[in-house]
């Protein structure tokens, strides 16, 4: 039976959390492989909402083990608070949450730099989540990051931080941050990091080795992507992207397993499109209809609370996502949100300067210049109670079939509400 990689096929917030929770019971392991607490994955079980930023979305299944791979960047304070919150709701991650020694830390100065840079950028703001993601990955690539493995040696942490802060102070000043780090602040930063490291030490593990062993023993592994393909550092709408590879292939690099372990890539897409933060969004609706989607879909960021920009489904973008992420199956979420509309538009092509094309522009800057070409489909009534494909009204069925046909993928699941079980299973990605 294949392992499964879940990736967002759009600009994030496609409902990955709900889907990972759905499949989590079938997997022995659920593993995050990139991103950090820029992610906000929402699970709704028996009416209770849990938003996870770092802990994998399999954690509510008591028999499922969860791991945070080397490709993730970790804010220790956020991880600590998330574990505390889970324990308070009766979910104990002890002995079933494992954090890779190879993962890099998001340090308090990464957050400061992220925010300072955004302020400094003025009109070119990316609209980051302000969680220090970019600066943490920068330090990783520049080979000056602090890793989980360093935490067992406080002097090493101090050395790394002091070296970094010397350079950083100049950078902070250059980015209009007027408060460079002072001695006392550096000391308390090192102390806090080391203390959090001690508190979280029981969770630290050789994740790659554990997964390899589990795999040899026949375990099913579910890789949980964060963000979405169009936010990928290489393949997204650069520079309005996040700082990691969000595509499925990174699930190998980000966990320490070889690519032969990845199995099937399942892309999650909403039945429409949303985006938080800045950057091109060809099918964005700036009118009352966009507002209606935001209200009906409760489209407000799970991490920052920002209103999400809303628009129609975009086949050009989705075909591109299917190609670059290797998506074989699709989960279509939030189909219920379209209920009640007279007509639904789908973008089937783009036009630039009167020329029509159906592939994603090579130059990300061109995405901002395109005019979408739309196809119309008739709307449908409420579908939230549907649990079998036969329960869907004719027009909803036609919409779903049109998507599968156009993307040349099979549909694994249709989601018709935020709660666990509010969906229609078509095929099981672990089986088929
Ligand atoms: P993620 O980042 O991909 O995990 O997605 P988020 O959790 O940030 O955003 C998805 C939102 O949509 C959450 O509030 C979910 O509870 C909700 N959601 C997921 N699937 C559905 C669905 O099929 N219908 C509706 N109405 N809400 C959904
Ligand atoms: P999940 O996993 C939606 C967006 C930010 C910003 C850009 C860069 O919940 O789908 P960053 O803080 O990563 O440097 O911000 O990426 N972004 C997300 N948008 N969902 C997310 O995660 C996101 N994570 C980052 O809004 O535009
Ligand atoms: Mg989210």
269 three-class SS = strand
The phi, psi pair for 282, rounded to 5°, reads: -55, -35
Q: What is the pLDDT of residue 142?
A: 96
Query: What pLDDT is attached to residue 431?
Result: 92
The pair of structure tokens assigned to 126 is 């990316």
Which two structure tokens, joined as six digits, stand for 200? Answer: 């979280």
Alpha carbon distance 247, 249 (integer Å) = 6
Closest ligand to C-alpha of residue 43 is 1
Task: State how far the Cα of 36 lies from the Cα of 19, in Å rounded to an integer.
Answer: 19
Alpha-carbon gap, residue 319 to 213, rounded angstroms: 36
How many Å lie between the centroid of ligand 2 and the Cα of residue 12?
A: 7
Beta-sheet strands, E only, within 142-300: 204-205, 221-224, 264-270, 273-275
Detail the DSSP E strand segments found in 301-370.
Answer: 309-311, 313-314, 329-333, 343-352, 355-357
Structural domains in the chain, CATH included, are 4-94+207-425 (3.40.440.10), 104-202 (1.10.300.10)
Judge if the beta carbon of residue 418 lies within 6 A of ligand 1: yes
Residue 155 CA to ligand 3 centre (angstroms): 37
Q: What are phi and psi of 311, to 5 degrees?
A: -165, -175
Ligand 2, atom 13, lies closest to the CA of: 242
C-alpha closest to that of 246 among 262, 260, 234: 234
CA dist., res. 8 & res. 270, Å (int): 9
Candidates 284, 283, 290, 275; CA nearest to 240 is 275
Quick check: CB of 44 below 6 Å from ligand 1? yes
pLDDT for position 432: 74
Query: Does residue 337's CB lie within 6 angstroms of at least one atom of ligand 1?
Result: yes
Q: How many CB atoms lie within 10 A of CB 182?
A: 10
CA of 304 to the centre of ligand 3 (A): 10
Ligand 1 atom 12, closest CA = 15
In the reported structure, the alpha carbon of residue 397 is separated from the centroid of ligand 2 by a whole-number distance in angstroms of 31
CA–centroid distance, 100 to ligand 2, in Å, is 22
Residues 6+ apart with CB under 8 A from 81: none
124 is catalytic: no
286 flagged as catalytic: no
Q: Could you tell me if 9 and 228 are in contact, meaning their C-beta atoms sit under 8 angstroms apart?
A: yes
Give the pLDDT of residue 56. Answer: 98
Per-residue pLDDT of the chain (432 residues; tens, 9 = 90+): 889 999 999 999 999 999 999 999 999 999 999 999 999 999 999 999 999 999 999 999 999 999 999 999 999 999 999 999 999 999 999 999 999 999 999 999 999 999 988 888 877 799 999 999 999 999 999 999 999 999 999 999 999 999 999 888 888 787 777 788 999 999 999 999 999 999 999 999 999 999 999 999 999 999 999 999 999 999 999 999 999 999 999 999 999 999 999 999 999 999 999 999 999 999 999 999 999 999 999 999 888 889 999 999 999 999 999 999 999 999 999 999 999 999 999 999 999 999 999 999 988 789 999 999 999 999 999 999 999 999 999 999 999 999 999 999 999 999 999 999 999 999 999 997
How many angstroms separate the alpha carbon of residue 31 from the centre of ligand 1?
A: 19
pLDDT of residue 356: 95
Distance set, CA 165 to CA 102, 144, 173, 382 (Å)? 22, 11, 12, 56
Name, in order, each residue with C-beta under 8 angstroms of 215's C-beta and a sequence gap of 6 or more. Answer: 3, 221, 257, 261
* Side-chain half-sphere CA neighbours of 105 within 13 A: 26
422 CA closest ligand 1 atom index: 23
* Residues with a CB atom less than 6 Å from ligand 2: 8, 11-13, 38-41, 126-129, 131, 133-134, 226-228, 231, 242-243, 276-277, 302
Tell which atom from ligand 1 comes closest to the C-alpha of 296.
26
Closest protein CA for atom 23 of ligand 1: 334
Report the distance separating Cα 287 and Cα 342, nearest Å: 16
What is the total residue count of the chain? 432
Residue with CA closest to ligand 2 atom 6: 128
DSSP letter (8 states) at residue 267:
E
10 lines ligand 1 (CB under 6 A): no
Q: From the alpha carbon of 51, which atom of ligand 1 is closest?
A: 7
Longest dimension (CA), the chain: 68
42 lines ligand 1 (CB under 6 A): yes
For 196, the 3-state DSSP assignment is helix
């Amino acid at each position: 039976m294949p392992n499964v990689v879940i990736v967002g096929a759009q600009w994030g917030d496609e409902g990955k959390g709900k889907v990972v929770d759905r499949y989590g019971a079938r997997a022995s392991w659920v593993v995050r492989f990139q991103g950090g607490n820029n992610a906000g994955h929402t699970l709704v079980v028996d009416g209770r909402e849990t938003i996870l930023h770092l802990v994998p979305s399999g954690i509510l299944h008591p028999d499922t083990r969860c791991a945070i791979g080397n490709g993730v960047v970790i804010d220790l304070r956020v991880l600590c608070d998330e574990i505390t919150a889970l324990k308070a709701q009766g979910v104990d991650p002890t002995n079933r949450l494992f954090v890779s020694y190879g993962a890099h830390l998001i340090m308090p100065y990464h957050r400061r730099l992220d925010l300072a840079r955004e302020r400094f950028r003025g009109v070119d703001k990316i609209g980051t989540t302000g969680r220090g993601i970019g600066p943490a990955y920068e330090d990783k690539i520049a080979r000056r990051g602090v890793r989980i493995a360093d935490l067992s040696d406080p002097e090493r942490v101090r050395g790394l931080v002091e070296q970094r802060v010397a350079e950083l102070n100049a950078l902070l000043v250059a980015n209009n941050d007027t408060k460079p780090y002072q001695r006392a602040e550096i000391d308390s930063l090192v102390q806090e990091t080391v203390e959090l490291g001690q508190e979280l030490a029981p969770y630290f593990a050789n994740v790659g080795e554990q997964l390899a062993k589990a795999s040899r023993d026949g375990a099913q592994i579910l890789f949980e992507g964060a963000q979405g393909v169009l936010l990928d550092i290489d393949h997204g709408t650069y520079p309005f992207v996040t700082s990691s590879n969000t595509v499925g292939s990174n699930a190998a690099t980000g966990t320490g397993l070889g690519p032969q372990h990845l199995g099937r890539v399942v892309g999650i897409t909403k039945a429409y499109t949303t985006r938080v933060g800045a950057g091109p969004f060809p099918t964005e609706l700036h009118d009352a209809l966009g507002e209606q989607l935001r209200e009906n879909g409760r489209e407000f960021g799970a991490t920052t609370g920002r209103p999400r920009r809303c628009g129609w489904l975009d086949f050009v973008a989705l075909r591109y996502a299917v190609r670059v992420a290797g998506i074989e199956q699709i989960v279509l979420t939030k189909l219920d949100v379209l209920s009640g509309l007279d007509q639904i538009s789908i973008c089937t092509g783009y036009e630039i300067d009167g020329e029509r094309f159906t592939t994603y522009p090579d130059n990300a800057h061109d995405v901002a210049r395109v005019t979408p070409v739309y196809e119309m489909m008739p709307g449908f009534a409420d579908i939230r109670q549907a649990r079998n494909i036969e329960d869907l009204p004719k027009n909803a069925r036609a919409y779903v079939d049109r998507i599968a046909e156009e993307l040349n993928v099979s549909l694994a699941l249709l989601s018709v509400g935020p709660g666990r079980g509010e969906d229609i299973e078509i095929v099981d990605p672990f089986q088929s």
